[in-house]
Structure 1
Amino acid sequence: MQIILCESAEQVGRRAADIIEARVRQGPAVLGLATGGSPASTYAELIRRHREEGLRFGDVTAFTLDEYAGLPADHPQSYHSTIRREFVDHVDLDLAKLHTPRGDAEDLVAEAARYDLAIVGAGGIDVQLLGIGANGHIGFNEPTSSLRSRTRVKTLAVATRTANARFFEGDDEEVPKLCLTQGLGTIGESRQAVLVALGSAKAAAVQAMVEGPVSAFCPGSVLQLHPRATIVLDPGAASQLTMLEYYRDAQALNDGLQ
């Protein structure tokens, strides 16, 4: 893992956007897109670079991490609608190249298998953007998820549904109980994973992910096995890490080499 320590959410967004931009400018790219609060500053920075610096997304194919079961793509709280609202509609990414699981599919198990194969068919994901939940989940892979899991149907934890109730007028009962999510094994096949985390509410999960054992109880810890995982943190998210001095030294050296 490479740990990047930042001073603000805006700096987190800039550092994550640097990685994504570098790959996009190389030519046709496949991006994995997360939703939620954590990647918001990354998307804001990519949109700014598109508008002000000519960063183009016409050669990008994108796959979202997950989707609520039961919600059609045009539902305002579906992740298809959310990623369009937060990012895609503000850049020149072709909507035909934006892929999300169909939450309203009649056969969710078959839809999950189709989506997993679609990622493979696109050549795999070059850069996967991730956030982490307070319980350590990445995507919707809740604690006890198999570390080798593929895209599949999952039951959402009560803590996750409570955290997401703010998008459903604060009503936990309106949050779907099932979802479709890329599995930990699917995420692990990305060529580069970039996880962004903000705030002290994520600090315990970040510490478990980075410094704890690889464990299904902290799904994010599977990134310890990823050959190219970058973790980008603000001070709050990094506040429980025990090796901060080492991470700062390594970051200074890496930044100097670049």
Structure 2
Amino acid sequence: MPISFLDLPRELRDQIYDALWVSTPKISLLDHPSMGRIITCYKSLLTPEAALPLWLLTSKQILSEATEQMIRHGTWTVRLRSEYDEQRAGKVLSPVLARRLTVTLTHPLEGPRPRWPHVIQEATLRPSKENVECLARVMSQVSSTNNARDVRLVLELVREEPNARIDLSPLEVASCLKPGLQKLEVVVLREQIYRTYSAAFVETIGAEVKRVGNKVMGSDEDPSIGGFFQDRGFVYAFKKPGEMELCRVDSAVGGVGC
């Protein structure tokens, strides 16, 4: 007598879900000019992006089991814009479920750009008010499930200002993900690809990222630091000692992953 898919052992069903997800392109959950963009991917980087695959909706049991598989192995990428709305983040595959999450602050760091440098001697660069508010909403949403294990915060379009201070205190909102958080990455992307940072500015950024990262992780460690694409950006990684590393499968910041 033939058996149905759901009669197979769970281990075999999980292997089939794995094969199905691998062949599924990135899934677009939200793409709005002012609310932001959310995509999720499994181990596949296939493009273009697609909607939810129809096989996922075959039955409630398949939906539940396949979603569990995505939660274990998938990565959610959220690009914050001015009016991120957590209610529209997706009903089935949502960043609330994410173990691996990339959040990109799409606005440049804000700070005074003095017309007369002798009047204002020091510029303080910090995330925009809009990005800060959106980030706080994302972190509050994700922390409600205590699922997040591996989080990447991406700062886009970071420009260098002479004698600038960097204030990344708003990123400390990720502290709400403790104690489950095992790995934190802070990625800094240059505003202009052809203009490199000075050594002093790199040191300033590194010191502030270290302060914030250790505040979030509750540690006092030096992050590992890596550059990519001709120093287009820098990745500062913090890990809980002794924890098993979660391997990322996304390429949200130009191929940075493990």
The normalised TM-score by structure 2 is: 0.30
Could you say which structure has the higher strand fraction? 2
Could you say which structure has the higher helix fraction? 1
Where relative contact order (Cα < 8 A, 6+ residues apart) is larger, the structure is 1
